[in-house]
Amino acid sequence: MTRMRALGTALAVLAVLPACKRSEPVQAAPTAPPPGAPGLPPGAPGLPQGLPQLPPPGMAGAASVEQHLAALQQQVARDPKDVKAWVELGNLYFDTKQPQRSIDAYAKALELQPNNPDVITDQGVMYRDIGQPEKAAANFRKANQLDPNHMQSLFNLGVIQAYDLKDTKAAAATWNEVIRRAPNSPQAAQARQAIGSLPPAPAAR
């Protein structure tokens, strides 16, 4: 897996999409990674040996981030087929709020490893950030089709449906599917809360 984030600001406004970069649950409000969580979980695509690792959030100064970015850019220039470096470059652009560059880096990774649901989901978050919720929704659907147990992408799809596409009926159905598939998951708990936050359907005339 790559790192995962959640998706939203507060359930009432839900404006920021989280991703899959830190294995964090997608939720209505942005949350910090759990204490002690690494930048990448075990088994995640990481950097090649010898490249510096991104310091933990809050500890990286601008200079160290720039150095890390430069190292990754040099690595992909040397080896354009290094999928791990492309993913980490996309993650770093994600973290530094450069969505279009993040999308492009993830696209390079997906050219080499097209069926990675985490990267597809993270790219979807970036599509939403540049004002393309339809592309974001397509990414979330694709990620969940590749891995039906990928609750992050399914929850994120509900957020897009509710708050970008204004289809609260579809959002409720999507979040209920999260609850059905993984009732004890963090995403299911968030889905229950999200359903409760939806505005009531207009009364039939």
Is residue 203 helix, strand or coil? Answer: coil
- The larger pLDDT score, comparing residue 33 to residue 77, is at 77
CATH number for the domain spanning 136: value is 1.25.40.10
Give CA–CA dist 73/91, Å, rounded: 13
Position 7 in a domain: no
The whole-model pTM stands at 0.74
Position 114 in a domain: yes
Position 21 in a domain: no
Q: Which residues contact 135 (CB under 8 A, 6 or more apart)?
A: 124, 127
What are the start-end ranges of the H helices in the chain?
A: 62-78, 83-95, 99-112, 117-129, 133-146, 151-163, 168-181, 186-197
Give pLDDT tens digits for 17-74.
656 764 333 333 333 334 443 433 444 343 334 444 444 545 446 789 999 999 999 9
- pLDDT above 60: residue 12: no
Give pLDDT tens digits for 82-132.
999 999 999 999 999 999 999 999 999 999 999 999 999 999 999 999 999
Instruction: Find the radius of gyration of the CA atoms of the chain.
Output: 17
Give CA–CA dist 55/150, Å, rounded: 27
Position 151 in a domain: yes
Per-residue confidence (pLDDT) for residue 45, from 0 to 100: 41
Give CA–CA dist 120/54, Å, rounded: 21
Position 19 in a domain: no
Position 102 in a domain: yes
Give CA–CA dist 14/202, Å, rounded: 21
Give CA–CA dist 126/130, Å, rounded: 7
90 neighbors 102 (Cβ within 8 angstroms): yes
Mean pLDDT of 134-146: 98
Position 161 in a domain: yes
Position 204 in a domain: no
Count the Cβ atoms, other than its own, within 10 Å of residue 26: 32
Per-residue confidence (pLDDT) for residue 202, from 0 to 100: 63
Domain that holds residue 98: 62-197
Per-residue confidence (pLDDT) for residue 203, from 0 to 100: 63
Indicate the number of domains in the chain: 1
Extract the tokens encoding 159: 């957020």
| Residue 64 phi, psi dihedral angles, 5° rounding | -70, -35
